[in-house]
């Protein structure tokens, strides 16, 4: 919701502060930086104090920062508050994954992560549509008021309905030394790193799309913010559908097999997307391969996540945090590259998506498949 609802308002934010599109897009990049840093903090806290206390603290910070964004006097303040908003909100990302790992084995957790994508996938469908209409009726600042209310609802429902799932025998120190040792051990685990980077590079391609698509579709191809919201929602619907089909396929195939096949499809669609750009395929030449790329994420994300966390047990919170930090670091880099590459062309967005698809395939091939051989 925090990423997608305000996307239709990016051009309006740039106009409101008399800033360039690049400067407005950096409010999204700063959010990704906050996600990358914040998850590294929440994970060890969740292993030490349980899943719920860090979640409460994170959501409370999120609500306060969202209200600050709504009243930001300038673009620099908005950019800084987006960073703080992400620091709080990312508690939900880390702790959700840790809770699934607390309760399920690798095969079942892959199915549960696919089910979670059905729930989380509603945001990319509903948020840009809602953001477009809020923008039309009340302006971009009201979007952040709505996000603050949404965060408050999440906080209250988590307090009321979410059980504590951390095993009572599992505790961890939150000192700098033990935390860094845990992260170092995880980074030396080839399989953990291979699955994490495979899912992370594929996701980074999606964030290149998220960052670049408002400029590409609204500014270059002339879509209205409302039409952009429908297009964004349609792509998200494809992602949801594929994640649910992944649940069915897991009854006959292993998560690793499905991930390997999905990585090949990701490369195919990524390179096709780049080829259509170079050939001057226009709007409709981009839509089909872009849709195909996003659909493959419904297979890569849950299966890569399930395998990355499968053997982490007592350090599930820290492992979930490191996964999130690495993946959103990659997302930040892809987002920043789209912005730095300049405007006036679709090439920055599509070339970065294609590159991410190749890196996702290579990470699984070199770090996971080669280890098996």
For 56-85, write each residue's pLDDT tens digit: 999 999 999 999 999 999 999 999 999 999
Write the DSSP string, 193-221: HHHHHHHHHHHHHHHHHHHHHIIIIIIIS
Q: Give the chain's length.
A: 373
Rounded Cα gap, residues 191 and 118, in angstroms: 27
Tell me what pLDDT residue 285 has: 86
H-helix or E-strand spanning residue 22:
helix 21-49
Q: What is the 3-state secondary structure (H, E, C) of 110-132?
A: HHHHHHHHHHHCHHHHHHHHHHH
Nearest Cα neighbor of 95 from 36, 168, 39, 176 is: 39
Tell me what pLDDT residue 313 has: 65
Cβ neighbours, 10 Å, residue 279? 9
Counting residues of the chain whose pLDDT is more than 70, the rounded percentage is 94
Find tokens 């209200």 and name the residue.
67
Nearest Cα neighbor of 66 from 127, 146, 131 is: 146
Tell me what pLDDT residue 359 has: 95
Domain ranges across the chain: 7-162+173-372
Nearest Cα neighbor of 67 from 129, 143, 14 is: 143
Structural tokens at position 2? 């925090």
Between 80-84, 167-171, 210-214, 221-225, the lowest mean confidence (pLDDT) is in 167-171
Residue 271 has pLDDT above 80, yes or no: yes
Tell me what pLDDT residue 373 has: 43
This prediction's pTM: 0.72
For 219-269, write each residue's pLDDT tens digit: 888 888 778 878 888 888 888 889 889 888 988 888 888 999 999 999 999
For 134-148, write each residue's pLDDT tens digit: 888 888 999 999 999
Confidence tier at 4 by pLDDT (50, 70, 90)? confident
Q: What is the CATH number of domain 7-162+173-372?
A: 1.20.1250.20
């Amino acid at each position: 919701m925090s990423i997608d609802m305000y996307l239709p308002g990016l051009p309006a934010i740039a106009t409101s502060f008399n800033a360039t599109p690049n400067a407005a897009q950096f409010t999204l990049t700063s959010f990704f930086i906050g996600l990358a840093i914040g998850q590294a903090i929440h994970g060890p806290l969740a292993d030490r104090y349980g899943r719920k206390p860090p979640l409460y603290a994170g959501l409370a910070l999120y609500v306060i920062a969202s209200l600050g964004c709504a009243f930001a006097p300038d673009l620099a303040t908005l950019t800084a508050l987006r960073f703080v908003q992400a620091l709080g909100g990312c508690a939900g990302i880390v702790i959700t994954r840790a809770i699934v790992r607390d309760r399920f084995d690798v095969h079942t957790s892959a199915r549960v992560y696919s089910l979670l994508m059905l729930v989380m996938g509603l945001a990319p469908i509903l948020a840009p549509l809602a953001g477009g209409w809020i923008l039309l009726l009340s302006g971009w600042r009201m979007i952040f008021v709505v996000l603050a209310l949404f965060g408050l609802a999440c906080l209250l429902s988590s307090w009321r309905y979410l059980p504590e799932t951390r095993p009572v025998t599992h505790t961890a120190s939150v000192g700098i030394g033990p935390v860094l040792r845990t992260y170092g051990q995880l980074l030396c685990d080839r399989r953990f790193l291979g699955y994490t980077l495979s899912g992370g590079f594929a996701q980074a391609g999606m964030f290149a799309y998220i960052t670049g698509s408002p400029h590409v579709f609204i500014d270059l191809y002339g879509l209205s913010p409302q039409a952009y919201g429908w297009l964004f929602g349609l792509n998200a619907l494809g992602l949801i559908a594929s994640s649910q089909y992944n649940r069915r396929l897991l009854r006959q195939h292993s998560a690793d097999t499905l991930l390997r096949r999905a990585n090949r499809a990701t490369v195919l669609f990524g390179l096709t997307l780049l080829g259509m750009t170079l050939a001057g395929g226009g709007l409709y030449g981009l839509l089909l391969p872009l849709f195909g790329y996003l659909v493959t994420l419904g297979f890569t994300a849950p299966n890569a996540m399930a395998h990355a966390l499968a053997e982490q047990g007592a350090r599930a919170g820290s492992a979930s945090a490191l996964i999130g930090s690495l993946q959103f670091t990659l997302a930040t880099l892809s987002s920043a590259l789209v912005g730095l590459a300049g405007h006036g062309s679709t090439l920055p967005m599509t070339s970065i998506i294609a590159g991410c698809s190749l890196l996702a395939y290579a990470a699984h091939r070199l770090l996971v498949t080669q280890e098996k051989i």
